[in-house]
Amino acid sequence: MILIDGKETATKIKLEIAEEVKKIIASGGKKPHLAAVLVGTDGGSETYVNYKVKDCEQVGFGSSLIRFDENISEQVLLDKVKELNEDPEIDGFIVQLPLPDHIAESKVIEAIDPSKDVDGFHPVNAGRLMIGMPCFQSATPAGIVELIDRYNIETSGKHCVIIGRSNIVGKPIASLLAQKRSPGNCTVTVCHSRTTNIKELTLQADIIIAAMGYPGFLTEDMVPEGAVIIDVGTTRVKSDQTKSGFKLKGDVDFEAVAPKCSYITPVPGGIGPMTRVSLLLNTLKAAKKEVYS
């Protein structure tokens, strides 16, 4: 069994990005700049956004954190999006989700210029992903594909069973892995809450991607010998073994499943760090105008 070390891989990629930033600056270019918009004071969102800013510092990107009170009107937020779209200093930006109920998320996302949409949530980027055009891929699926690629895991002709159909993980990773390219060329099955025979399907899989946010869902009896297991779940559960009283738990019963696998990602230290680094990779692409010229 090979443990897929997302943390180590992400660290390596950050060093690669930092090198590239140095080269850009040495050749007279400006450093890539990511802006993050945070509305309200949700604890989770606050943590995520702080990580993103810290990641930027580590690789030499510029970053801006724009905070709004949770009572901000939709129009004020849309005006800020417009301003960021037009600001040549900003290469890419994100609006941290979820937004308060009185603001239409889809309206805000559609207001973002697709060429600065480094979260890859704009329908143009989702559509380009589906039809195999250059795009900003959303961070988690991009991180999964990057890991599969760096670990030289064969995907062509393999059966990938995905559990979960969210817009930011299940659907895009299904599209990416079915595409005619490498990594890709998988036969792909998407299961979800209405699927009646998940175990029957996972037992036929070469690759299983668990992304439903149900801690420990994928048990040993659901996994065939030699499968590749990608665990996207990160649920905060109570724990008496940590100082905080909480720990992150994946969708896979890691201890029992790991011995059967050819490859497996741990939680934490698997897909999480790769998701964070994908945002940096997208911002670098935006700065280099690699997707939209």
- Contact residues for a copy of itself (CB under 8 A)? 106, 122-133, 156-157, 159, 165, 167, 171-172, 174-175, 178-180, 185-192, 194-197, 200-201, 204
Q: Give yes or no: 204 in active site.
A: no
Select which of 14, 55, 91, 96 is catalytic: 96
Cβ closer to a copy of itself: 33 or 128? 128
In the complex, minimum distance from the CB of residue 115 to a copy of itself, in angstroms, rounded to a whole number: 12
In the complex, minimum distance from the CB of residue 194 to a copy of itself, in angstroms, rounded to a whole number: 4
Count of C-beta atoms within a 10 Å radius of residue 169:
24
Q: Are strands 92-95 and 159-163 parallel, antiparallel or unpaired?
A: unpaired
Could you give phi then psi for residue 109, rounded to 5 degrees? -65, -40
In the complex, minimum distance from the CB of residue 199 to a copy of itself, in angstroms, rounded to a whole number: 12
Cβ closer to a copy of itself: 150 or 192? 192
Q: Which residue in the block uniquely carries the two structure tokens 């420990």?
A: 216
Select which of 55, 91, 117, 119 is catalytic: 119
Distance CA 168, CA 199 (A): 24
Distance CA 192, CA 196 (A): 9
Distance CA 207, CA 262 (A): 10
Q: Give yes or no: 253 in active site.
A: no
In the complex, minimum distance from the CB of residue 171 to a copy of itself, in angstroms, rounded to a whole number: 6
Q: Are strands 33-39 and 92-95 parallel, antiparallel or unpaired?
A: parallel
Cβ closer to a copy of itself: 90 or 176? 176
In DSSP terms, 208 is beta-bridged to 161, 229
Cβ closer to a copy of itself: 86 or 200? 200
Q: Are strands 159-163 and 187-191 parallel, antiparallel or unpaired?
A: parallel
Q: Give yes or no: 251 in active site.
A: no
C-alpha torsion sign, points 147, 150, 152, 157: positive
Catalytic residues: 52, 96, 119
